[in-house]
Structure 1
Amino acid sequence: MADRVRGLAWAYPMAFVGIAVMLLIARLMPISAEAGSWPGPDLLLCLILVWVTRRPDYLPALLIALVVLAEDLILMRPPGLWAALVLVASEFLRSRGALTRELSFAGEWLLVAGVMVAMLLAYRLMFLIAFLPQPGFGFAMIQTVATILCYPLVVGLSWFLLDLHKPATGELDSYGRRM
């Protein structure tokens, strides 16, 4: 029984990597090439924050760092900056696992939205400090708002398709430790 549970513990990180690769491929496809179109949401960020908030034991920090660093390199962003911000945000949410377990969905959504806005501001501040050119603030804010609005959809799909739910009080992880 314990071996089956430990085997399932590796299924979720592999599923995450597969979903991340599919999202990255979809992001690279030339769906609309017209200038001035609205930015889409960052679904990979949504997925990471949902999984870290719902089941922090399924998504190791090293895996998050590697996946987002690969995304940085493929999308030609400054290597490691966005990966570091996502890692800090995910570890912030992971450390508040007991709090988020007790929050209603609206409270969880508000907490994650605040984290996303803080990430946007920190990213833009780093660009400002390094004197790097950056897209307009409105463009970045629209993408952040779209990502915030997609959060409930990603939560629903993760729950429905992958049975990813908040741990119940007293629930054990794959190694028999209390969550």
Structure 2
Amino acid sequence: MVDPLTTRRVAHRALYVALAALILFLRLLPINPVEHGIPGPDLTLAFTFAWLLRRPDYVPAALIVAVFLLEDLMYWRPIGLWPLIVLGGTEFLRARESASRDLPFVLEMAIVAGVMTAMLTANRLILAVTFVEQPPLGLEILRLLMTLAAYPFVVALSRLAFGLRRAAPGEVDALGHRL
């Protein structure tokens, strides 16, 4: 018989991959309602941060890297750079997950905004040093702002539709391990 905790972890990991694949598919569709408007949010990054801050065991580092590496391949970005930067940002947040568990949502948003800004800056600096062509800074900042604006809705969707909530302080699994 399979442990319910293991089943839940595997189900949420599969759901994360399915959500990332759906977002990837929708972004690859040749439908663009606005020709030169505001870019859409990076929903994969928003879901990754939301899930990581609620249940870090549902999104292991290898899974995050695999999802963003697939995005690099599909979007023709420099292969491996963005997954490496995302891995650094997510591991920074993962190390502070237990400390940020009791923070109000506004402070969580501020931490996420800081990490996303640092990730964008690191990406642009590395691309500039290696003389790789970059999208305009204004579009990148707008994408960052759109991602931050979408983050509360992603958190709400994760909570209401997928039942993803933060572990309560002192909560343990079936084997007595702290969550």
Shorter chain as normaliser: what TM range?
A: over 0.9
5+ long unaligned stretches in structure 1: none
2:76 aligns to what?
Answer: 76
1:95 aligns to what?
Answer: 95
* Offset from partner CA, 1:138-179 (integer Å, 9 cap, x none): 110000000011100000000001111111011124653112
SS for the counterpart of 1:102 is coil
CA distance in 2, matches of 1:39, 1:175: 45
Tell me the C-alpha RMSD between the 2 structures.
1.5
Displacement of 1:35 after TM fit?
4.3
CA gap of 1:34–1:149, structure 2 versus 1, over 3 A, is closer
CA gap of 1:146–1:5, structure 2 versus 1, over 3 A, is same
* Offset from partner CA, 1:63-111 (integer Å, 9 cap, x none): 0001110110011100000001111111110000112101100000110
Q: Tell me if the contact between 1:6 and 1:174 (Cα under 8 Å) persists in the aligned partners.
A: no
Q: Calculate the TM-score normalised by the size of structure 1.
A: 0.95
Residues 61-140 of structure 1 correspond to what in structure 2 (within 5 A)?
61-140=61-140
CA gap of 1:37–1:129, structure 2 versus 1, over 3 A, is same
Which runs of at least 4 in structure 1 moved beyond 6 Å after TM superposition? none
SS for the counterpart of 1:98 is helix
Displacement of 1:36 after TM fit?
2.2
CA distance in 2, matches of 1:64, 1:115: 16
How high is the sequence identity, in percent, across the aligned residues? Answer: 42
CA gap of 1:120–1:157, structure 2 versus 1, over 3 A, is same
CA gap of 1:37–1:19, structure 2 versus 1, over 3 A, is same
Q: Tell me if the contact between 1:51 and 1:164 (Cα under 8 Å) persists in the aligned partners.
A: yes
* Offset from partner CA, 1:94-134 (integer Å, 9 cap, x none): 00011210110000011001111111101100111001111
Q: Tell me if the contact between 1:55 and 1:164 (Cα under 8 Å) persists in the aligned partners.
A: yes
Q: Calculate the TM-score normalised by the size of structure 2.
A: 0.95
CA gap of 1:36–1:95, structure 2 versus 1, over 3 A, is same
CA distance in 1, matches of 2:46, 2:80: 18
CA distance in 1, matches of 2:21, 2:66: 12
CA distance in 1, matches of 2:124, 2:160: 35
1:40 aligns to what?
Answer: 40
SS for the counterpart of 1:152 is helix
CA distance in 1, matches of 2:174, 2:16: 17
2:58 aligns to what?
Answer: 58
Matched, 1:6 2:2: no
CA distance in 2, matches of 1:174, 1:165: 17
5+ long unaligned stretches in structure 2: none
CA gap of 1:155–1:171, structure 2 versus 1, over 3 A, is same
